[in-house]
Amino acid sequence: MTLRPGLEGVPVTQSAICDIDGLQGNLTYRGYPIGELASQSSFLETTYLLIWGDLPSPQQLRDFEAEVQMHRRVSFRVRDMMKCFPASGHPMDALQSCAASLGLFYSRRAIDNPQYIYDAVVRLIAKIPTMVAAFQLIRKGQDPIQPRDDLAYSANFLYMLTEKEQDPLASRIFDRCLILHAEHSLNASTFSARVTASTLTDPYAVVASAVGTLAGPLHGGANEDVLAMLEEIGSPEKAGVYLDKAIANKLKVMGFGHREYRVKDPRASILQELAEELFARFGKDEMYEVAKALENEATHRLGPKGIFPNVDFYSGLVYRKLGIPRDLFTPVFAISRVAGWLAHWREQLGANRIFRPSQIYTGVQARRWMPPEERNQTRNN
């Protein structure tokens, strides 16, 4: 048995959802290039494509949008539950709890019924943004704002979060961000979703387990750390020294590197364009120059190892300009990625076998239990 740490290069499933060419920097959802979808599609249309395999007809899209709009509200019980959460807690933990709680409200588990699958998709896509925005207001001591039916998906989320209607350009750019983050094959959180799905549990548990996995700093949580890093660097001319130190100390530079890409992540390039579009309209973020300097310096120092900016590198700058607080960057990622997780949930159910990998045991063999007073050992921490 050969051990492959981190399962690098080990196929664990077949999938028709998303394809990554990490050498050329190409990414497609269901065969459509990410650049085309990010410029032409909407998040809800892309969600439909990811989950059901084809772009919707105009009627299918209208129906899907209307259903999602109808299910945006969350029960007062979920809101009351959030009021019991500590305001200092991380919004990803709040989101994971809220996503799991939906399983209590919709406890029927008919995962072989297409209507059940459709309804669960609609509920999760509709309610996750409302829960993220609600926790933001609740932790500030305010009551959450109700969704507005006259606003489209992304505009409504920004409205619920910032308490004011945003410029249409801001809403469109946010929607494009959601498209970019919606799916990315078998990353850690999607793998987590598939493993959970393979037990035939409910879709709320599938999403809750994936949210927990996305939260870590090596995965979705990196976007928060990127801004902290840029602020620590402070100015463009200090980027080189920072990099040298990080490399000498074997520290990871946040927002760089990817298991799949050996070139710049195509989503990072599009997010950089979106950042520039936002800055042109609403004013520049001074950390943008630091980010560009860091990318430039890193091209010489990390580029030869195939380490380039990933999706998290420029997203924080975009989100900050959109008025999104830093610790909501990863929950915003989750709002989008729920589309990919649900596409994988549905695909897993279509050809399910429970995940149960093996291990290579390295522990002690053949020990005998002894009464405590006869033991003479110090604890291994």
- By rule CB under 6 A, what string of x and - marks binding of each residue 199-218 to ligand ACO? -------------------x
Least distance from C-beta 24 to ligand ACO, angstroms?
Answer: 18
Q: Which is nearer to ligand ACO, 204 or 329 (CB)?
A: 329
Position 307, amino acid: I
Residue 26 β-bridge partners: 21
Q: Is residue 236 near ligand ACO by the rule CB under 6 A? A: no
Distance of CA 14 to the CA centre of its chain: 21
From the list 86-94, 134-142, 155-163, 299-307, the region that binds ligand ACO by CB under 6 A is 299-307
- Of the candidate spans 78-86, 132-140, 251-259, 278-286, the one that interacts with ligand ACO by CB under 6 A turns out to be 251-259
Buried b (16+ CB within 10 A) or exposed e, 75-105: eeebbebbeebeeeebbbbbbbbbbbbbbee
Residue position matching structure tokens 């364009």:
273
Smallest distance from the beta carbon of 187 to ligand ACO, in angstroms?
Answer: 6
Classify residue 147 by burial, with Cβ atoms within 10 Å: 0-12, 13-18, 19+. Answer: buried
Strand order in the sheet with 18-21: 18-21, 26-29, 32-33
Inter-axis angle of helices 168-181 and 153-162, to 10 degrees?
110
Residue ranges in 71-90 that form contacts with ligand ACO under rule CB under 6 A = none
Q: Which of 204, 256, 308, 341 binds ligand ACO (CB under 6 A)?
A: 256
CA distance 101 to 171: 29
Residue number, 132 or 307, with CB nearest to ligand ACO: 307
Q: Does 242 bind ligand ACO (CB under 6 A)?
A: no
Answer for which of 259, 262, 320, 326 binds ligand ACO (CB under 6 A) is 259
Q: Exactly one of 310, 330, 336, 348 binds ligand ACO (CB under 6 A); which one? A: 310
Among 139, 176, 258, 264, binds ligand ACO (CB under 6 A): 258
d(CA 35, CA 308) in angstroms, rounded, equals 19
Q: Write the DSSP assignment of 295-358 as a string of letters.
A: HHHHHHHTGGGT--B-THHHHHHHHHHTT--GGGHHHHHHHHHHHHHHHHHHHHHHT-------
Tell me the per-residue interface mask from 164 to 203 with ligand ACO, x by CB under 6 A, - otherwise. Answer: -----------------------x----------------
Residue 20 makes contact with ligand ACO by CB under 6 A: no
Q: How far apart are CA 139 and CA 117, in angstroms?
A: 32
Q: Of these, 91, 255, 331, 340, which contacts ligand ACO (CB under 6 A)?
A: 255
Beta bridge partners of 19: 28
Closer of 90 and 148 to ligand ACO (Cβ): 90
Query: Known catalytic residue: 312?
Result: yes
Which member of 311, 322, 338, 343 binds ligand ACO (CB under 6 A)?
Answer: 311
Q: For residues 136 and 187, which CB has a smaller minimum distance to ligand ACO in the complex?
A: 187
Figure out which of the listed residues 6, 9, 141, 304 binds ligand ACO, where binding follows CB under 6 A. 6
**97: closest CA among 219, 224, 204?**
204
- Catalytically annotated residues: 258, 312
